[in-house]
Amino acid sequence: MSPDNVPILRVNDLLKRFGGFHALDGLTFHVSSGEILGLVGPNGSGKTTAINVISGLYAPDRGEVLFDGTSVGGMASHKLVHRGINRTFQVPKPFMSLTVRQNLEVARTYGRAGASGPSMSDLLEEYRLADVADRPAHDLTNVQQKMLDLVRALATQPRLLLLDELAAGLNPTELDWIAERIKALAKGGLAIIVVEHLMGFIEQITDRVIVMNAGKEIFEGTLAVAVKVPEVIEVFLGGEHAA
């Protein structure tokens, strides 16, 4: 993995409030093409909110989201998709009554215009969905629905991919397999942000992690270093465990 030096995504001083609760409180980070960045932190630390703001579900209350040098904070999601941002969902949300193939057809037709990429059959084959291509999405297992969600995102030809707990629920063999796929995607130039609770998985695929707590970054670097930082240990395990 050889990340470019120019970040494709830069978020500066993001603030997102829900009532009096600050889900994001001055979050700043960047990610480059070809890089896999991990966002880790305890539940409620703002990881998914960060993804939701970057993917256009929420407009930030303050701060900016710069994608490819352009400010895209608060932009409608479909426009972000056309610019090259996409995501998966913690709980996959495929179009349940449509077939797997139709799910992808929507993404391919309405995704990033003019982009060329792998064919639908290649995507289905690569993510083990070829056998169920003509079945409605509600017939799929949870793991297959997760793969469909991922392939739906990939079918829009993204340049930045946000993965929200893709690995949850996968068995060890599937984890190794999907880790290789994600690394291959990054090698192909895709910038990837991974939100994940499985630290082994994060360690396996990321170049760098941001540890978040209460909507802020408290550490940036490799996971190997992060696990030795007292502040990081404290937010994950509680004060008495900190060295």
Amino acid 234 reads E
Q: Cβ 141 to other proteins, closest distance in Å? A: 18
Nearer to other proteins, 11 or 85 (CB): 85
Q: Which residue has the tokens 């980070």?
A: 29
Q: Cβ 88 to other proteins, closest distance in Å? A: 9
Label each residue of 162-223 as H, E or C.
EEECCCCCCCHHHHHHHHHHHHHHHHCCCEEEEECCCHHHHHHHCCEEEEEECCEEEEEECH
Q: Cβ 204 to other proteins, closest distance in Å? A: 26
Nearer to other proteins, 164 or 196 (CB): 164
User: Helices in the chain by DSSP H: which ranges?
Assistant: 47-54, 77-83, 100-110, 120-126, 142-155, 172-187, 199-205, 223-226, 230-237
Nearer to other proteins, 28 or 99 (CB): 99
Q: Cβ 50 to other proteins, closest distance in Å? A: 16
Nearer to other proteins, 74 or 230 (CB): 74
Q: Cβ 137 to other proteins, closest distance in Å? A: 9
- At 56 the three-state DSSP class reads coil
Residues making contact with other proteins (CB under 8 A): 55-57, 76-78, 81-82, 86-87, 89, 93-98, 102-103, 105-107, 109-112, 152-153, 155-156
Distances (CA, A) of 14 to 2, 178, 195: 27, 30, 17
Nearer to other proteins, 123 or 153 (CB): 153
